[in-house]
A and B are shown apart, each in its own frame.
Chain A
Amino acid sequence: MPENAPFTACLRANYRGGPLFLRRARFTEKKPLAETIIQLVNASFQYAGSEKRALDGVSLSIRRGESVAIVGHNGSGKSTLCKLFNALLLPAEGTATVDGMDTRDEDSTLEIRRRVGMVFQNPDNQLVTTIVEEDVGFGPENLGVAPPEIRARVEQALSDVEMSAYADKASHALSGGQKQRVAIAGLLAMRPEVLVLDEATAMLDPRGRQEVLSTVFRLNKERGMTLVMITQFMEETLGCDRVFVMADGRLVMEGTPQEVFNQRELLEKSRLEAPAFVQLRDGLLAAGVPVSESAMTCEALADSLSRVLPESGSKEEKE
């Protein structure tokens, strides 16, 4: 393909609105960068026809560059909450702002969506074209980015998710984990500031989950990409800076994973439980085994136990 050719000619008809929108983008980027990138103030939401609020007076702020996990029982409002983060839903009461922009301001919608990219649960319904690189180029092309720039972004994005080898492959033939990484690459090509994963690993096998998690945590650590992760797997939250706990439409807890998972009673009330190794740690502590109170992962608990328990070679091992 020649350097200046349209990235995917068939999609070109779609970005008539591009230049106008880009001017707005440049304008907003002049504003000083706020420390807080996403802020909800007393935000509520109710689905049409539903009797109760899906979200009820939630206030929270997410800082630029941090990693945040959102956990909660089915129907607790996690997904609704995340949809407020990029104006897929608008708060009925209260406000949601992204980088200072009010999500209710329609003129900001596109810019908000570019900044906050979302990956959903099902790997099979997020890819829109048949070839991997075309899929990754779809976003920037819709933003009106020039073809040579699109190509550069696509290459970079695929390399960021370690999928460069699949650039010209058919997207339907990929594994679930690969599809999710391509979906992430599609967002990266739009240069987002926040990645929101709405249970993006729920339908994946262990290997696929690992692929996706290591990709997003690397982007967070190395690029300072803000990461918001909704998950039902409590152990996935341990790598995050903060955990938000939702229950019945309310934000009931927030803190470091350590702080949150120490609140066993409140967790229980929210229909959740601590990660398995935290439960084991607490069981051991209760039985008087002096393991480290901060151990939450397999590795940390093994380190701590190896200092407490006798090494092999002692008489007991031979039995």
Chain B
Amino acid sequence: MPILIQQLSHTYLPGSALAYPALSGIDFSIEAGEFLGVIGHTGSGKSTLIQHFNGLLLPTSGSVLVDGLDTREKKLRRQIRSLVGMVFQYPEYQLFEETVEKDVGFGPKNMGLDEDEIHERVFEALSLVGLPPEQFAENSPFELSGGEKRRAALAGILAMRPKYLVLDEPMAGLDPRGRAEILSLVESLRKNNGTCIVMVSHSMDDVAMYSDRIAVLSGGKLAMLGTPEEVFSRGSELLEMGLNLPQATRLVRALRERGVTVGRDYYRMDELEEELIRRYGHAR
């Protein structure tokens, strides 16, 4: 069962002079097991949207159903939050416990699980994020490096075994290797556990590389929804919304301006590289 977003609108401070409509008429669904990229300029409503997926924000009108559970139902919220794991920007700032084990175990403990189950989940989550529990469990989370902290914070969410994992800019501020590690972790969660991934990112290359579908938000509306190929073939519209294009797409456009057309709008560097090599071979 999916996350159904039906005619969702959200207005901050409704009825006041500062009323600000952040989302209007958003209507789509997120399928279980898919990788959905969410892109949009600052202020486009991305963060407002994803906070609806686990009931942190509630619709001003319309509804959000997670596996059929309406987020407006207060009774269901605990259940919804164990289905939908939410990782905010710079999650490492939210570490707070004395040991890594306690920090990662905080979520499962709140779910009311017993000690053994918590322990098992914590160790599983730490192994998943590449922090061997025997080495890290007893450490203070504050002694970890930046990249390790980020992964420990992610483990805290994974320990709840969410069916849907929502990540807001999970790679911000990480070095290239750290970015690659987080991305491959997220991708393997999807592949091996069937976890649905919703990833908000400014990096068009990362979104292009991993997403099955991409949702483009602009001015609080769903401006586009489609495969990376469909979305990035509308490059001029994206640029008008203040978004970037994947680097491969930028090169295709720059070549076109110079009178060289490559078959289609590539959005992955590896595929474009193959095409360019093939083209050069043909030309000779």
Contact = CB atoms under 8 A, between A and B. Distances in A.
B176 A234 contact: yes
Nearest to B149: A74
B74 interface: no
A280 B242 contact: no
Contacts of B205: 276
Given A75-B146, A276-B205, A283-B273, A306 B258 contact: yes
A302 B257 contact: yes
B279 A74 contact: no
A284 B277 contact: yes
Contacts of B277: 283-284, 287-289
Interface in B220-279: 242-244, 247, 250-251, 254-255, 257-261, 263, 269, 272-273, 276-277, 279
A11 interface: no
A309 B176 contact: no
Contact of B147 (A74, A276, A314): A74
B255 A305 contact: yes
A295 to B, nearest CB: 11
Given A280-B272, A287-B277, A305-B276, A74 B176 contact: no
A309 B43 contact: no
Contact of B42 (A76, A175, A280, A284): A175
A306 B260 CA distance: 6
A264 B283 CA distance: 30
Nearest to A312: B261
Main secondary structure of the interface of B (DSSP, over half): helix
B255 A205 contact: no
B244 A309 contact: no
Interface in A21-51: none
* Size category, A interface: 35 or more
A146 interface: no
A170 interface: no
A69 B41 CA distance: 27
A311 interface: yes
B218 to A, nearest CB: 12
Nearest to A78: B175
Given A203-B173, A205-B42, A74 B145 contact: yes
Interface of A: 72-76, 121, 175-176, 199, 202-208, 232, 234, 271-273, 276-277, 279-280, 283-284, 287-289, 298-299, 301-303, 305-306, 308-314, 316-317, 319
Given A283-B277, A302-B255, A302-B257, 11 more contacts: A76-B175, A202-B173, A203-B89, A232-B173, A280-B251, A298-B254, A305-B258, A309-B279, A309-B280, A309-B283, A316-B279
